[in-house]
Amino acid sequence: MSTEGALSRSRLLPSLLGILLLLMGLALLAGGVKLSTLGGSWYYLLAGIGLALTGVLLIMARRAALGLYALVLFASTVWALWEVGLDWWQLVPRLAMLFALGIVMLLPWFRRPLLSADAPATGTRALGAAVVIAGVAALASQFTNPGEIKGQLDRDSVPGMTNTAPAMPDGDWNSYGRSAHGDRYSPLAQITPENVSKLVPAWTYRTGDLPGPNDPGETTAENTPLKVNGMLYVCTPHSQVIALEPETGKEIWRFDPKLSTQKAENFKGWAHMTCRGVTYHDDAAYASAEQSPTGTASTTPASTSCPRRIFLPTADTRLIALNADTGKMCEDFGDKGQVDLTANIGGFTAGGYYSTSPPAVTQNLVVIGGHVTDNVSTDEPSGVIRAYDVHTGKLVWNWDSGKPDDTTPIAEGQTYTRNSPNMWSMFSVDEKLGMLYLPMGNQTPDQFGGNRTPESEKYAAGLTALDIATGKVRWYFQFTHHDLWDMDVGGQPTLMDLKTADGVKPAVLASTKQGSIYVLDRSNGQPIVPIKEIPVPQGAVEGDHTSPTQPMSDLNFVPPVLQERDMWGVTPFDQMLCRIDFKSLRYDGMFTPPSLQGSIVYPGNFGVFDWGGISVDPVRQIAFVNPSYMAFKSKLVPAAEVAGGPGRKSETEGVQPNKGAPYGVILEALLSPMGLPCQAPAWGYVAAVDLTNNKTLWKHKNGTVRDSSPVPIPLSMGVPSLGGPFTTASGLAFLSGTLDQYLRAYDVKNGKQLWEGRLPAGAQTTPMTYTGKDGKQYVLVVAGGHGSLGTKQGDYVIAYKLPD
């Protein structure tokens, strides 16, 4: 073998790396020029020049390549620390690749062809120093926790404070939020912080309700089952109800409503197939008018054939009453057991109106709202709230925000106000005060409000309290003025008695997408925690306007304003592209108006808090919450261009037509080309708030990317969650809604994760707990996946308990 041939082969690897660095440099240079012209960082342009020149020198086998690369790596480290400090996940895209290449270039077999035996090693030493500095920065960042708050609750109770939710057996869970107060708090204490690590699966049941090839829309499992009447009641995405034995998961009965789906092929792209829950009513709980909290006797006698009822909202627009003992339809309710919710609604696209959430029940009434598909047109069904006699199904009152003062049942042949704000989430009920609490959505379309009526502006995106008996408005409070960002109030309002400096007050806590938790006196709607009107960005499109201010609660998890340096990626390249996207869009902070240019919506319309709501411990006077942070972007499209666009694929894909408005809209998450969020992690947390002073006790990132990254590594980055938590008297909290497939338990005093159970599918649901006849406490979760989030789908109901 000739010396010349050996040298040629030894220089192959430096040459290959040189070509790679040249290409990398040219890519960064091109993107850097674009970014700098948008007013962004000059780093990528300069780094691109440095890498490209290093590549050329390597191809030429010049030892100067090492010194130049040392300069690039050192400058990059200084720049990275200046921008983000010792934040590991922020340093990864800035330094990880450069650091690894620096290690390769220090290897003797790599640099030997570049240096003669007596050549000075200045470049080598410089590169070694740069690698060490970058490595020390990376190592030091392992000991920091940006965004986290460490703390400890030092009490097990607040003197005099008790659980004032409606009474029920400790081991039951008889409403979506356990009680009609929506507190998601269980007095059970058999499973404790000391023994929760021993939880094991007790049983698994499969419903058989799986997405099919001809399924309309997206199938999403969001159900929280009930445990009452000695049974578990589960509802599936296709509106089936299954009664199970709580101790074994054995099926007792099943009801299939045989959905018509109103021409299923028309659902695609417009609707979700989901059932968040069913509702239970027991005549025995209201034995007399004297026992009724509202003091009003039932207008109809108690049923002898169906004294205990399950109320089921279906995806094909029915409200069905079932005998809770047998699963048979209650023939005395409505038309042989069902009420047609299309009555007086008017026309709509298949899937454009139905109820995804359980109705509320009171002594006499079952009350239901409805989901109206966003951004289809300006002529959609009404968001009317309707109250039916709990026994006969006769319409007792209707509250239409388009005609808020007239709650008399609508006359035959008339139609409720089209396109009025709807309530698609869960009610809360205080029968002692005689009020229903409605978390309100807004008038579609979401991103253009130039044609909204005064009535819709008044009641949208806030909390409305209705009188149970009449449906009349008792009070209302708006949380987003002239909402142009889809900031519906998604979470069920939480009712509790709250200890304040002015004494104990009946409170309602409303968690919202923008991150504020509004705390009001539920008797009159007056703020308990201060709410300030803050100035917000202006400049709506032609034909629209913005509110000059927006209300923000002093109790909030509102994230800081995004900066260019917050843009993220796995590599410098997708981070650079995210920066270009960021600088190309309009963003003036929270409530940046929608625009033709495209605007960033942060927090996004999945919200800091969505329909999962929050949990409160009324004895400890704390709230356990799971805030998420995901930026979205919206771009208005002139109506004349909508027809030629890609068309609507779902509520977050394609052009939303907004027929009848001057603009359609494109809505999508702010993602990198690799499909990861453009903003830096963490994207999801668990936290606790001391409600006696409204301070955050602790806040920790939560969840891993195991099930949402190309390589299934359980990196603890903190991921978004959809679904709510519950807490127990023993000091535990449980949450399953993260993008990774786990049910987790936490110590409410400090947020420490104490246990996790691996699930066979996504569980974007709210778990629950109960006691069986065997005296054991169980924790139960539905794991069925979520179509919009792309988590693994399934049909699992899984219960856990302590070992015998």
In three-state secondary structure terms, 578 is helix
Task: Tell me how far apart the alpha carbons of residues 79 and 423 are, in angstroms, rounded to a whole number.
Answer: 49
Residue 334: is its pLDDT beyond 70?
Answer: yes
pLDDT at 10: 65
Q: What percent of the chain has pLDDT over 90?
A: 81
Contact present, 404 and 417 (Cβ < 8 Å): no
State whether residue 454 is helix, strand or coil.
Answer: helix
Give pLDDT, residue 304: 73
pLDDT band per the 50, 70, 90 thresholds, residue 650: low
Q: Is the pLDDT of residue 296 over 60?
A: no
Q: Across-strand partners of 624?
A: 615, 688
Which one of the listed residues 400, 486, 566, 581 is annotated catalytic? Answer: 486
Give the per-residue pLDDT at 259. 87
pLDDT tens column, 30-82: 999 999 999 999 999 999 999 999 999 999 988 899 999 999 999 999 999 99
Dist. CA 766–CA 610, nearest whole Å:
12
pLDDT at 352: 85
Displacement of CA 534 from its chain's centroid (Å): 25
| Distance, CA of 606 to CA of 23 (rounded, Å) | 38
- Report the 10 Å Cβ neighbour count for 97: 16
Predicted confidence (pLDDT) at residue 504 exceeds the cutoff of 90: yes
CA–CA gap between residue 158 and residue 49 (Å, rounded): 63
Q: Does the pLDDT value for residue 464 go beyond 80?
A: yes
DSSP 175-191: STTSSTT---EE---SS
DSSP letter for each residue of 57-124: HHHTT-THHHHHHHHHHHHHHHHHHHHH-S-HHHHIIIIIHHHHHHHHHHSHHHHGGGS-TTS--HHH
Q: What is the pTM of this model?
A: 0.95
DSSP letters, 130-171, are HHHHHHHHHHHGGG--TT-B------S--TT----SPP--TT
pLDDT above 50 (res 293): no
The model's pLDDT over 421-446, given as tens digits with 9 standing for 90+, comes to: 999 999 999 999 999 999 999 999 99
CA distances, 360 to each of 292, 320, 487, 712 (Å): 16, 13, 23, 41
Q: Among residues of the chain, what percentage have pLDDT more than 70?
A: 93
- Tens digits of residue pLDDT in 751-798: 999 999 999 999 999 999 999 999 999 999 999 999 888 899 999 999
| Euclidean distance between CA atoms 521 and 119, whole angstroms | 79
Domain limits, the chain? 11-142, 165-260+684-803
486 among known catalytic residues: yes
**Cis-peptide, bond into residue 287, ω within 30° of zero:** no
What backbone torsions phi and psi does residue 29 show, to the nearest 5 degrees? -65, -45
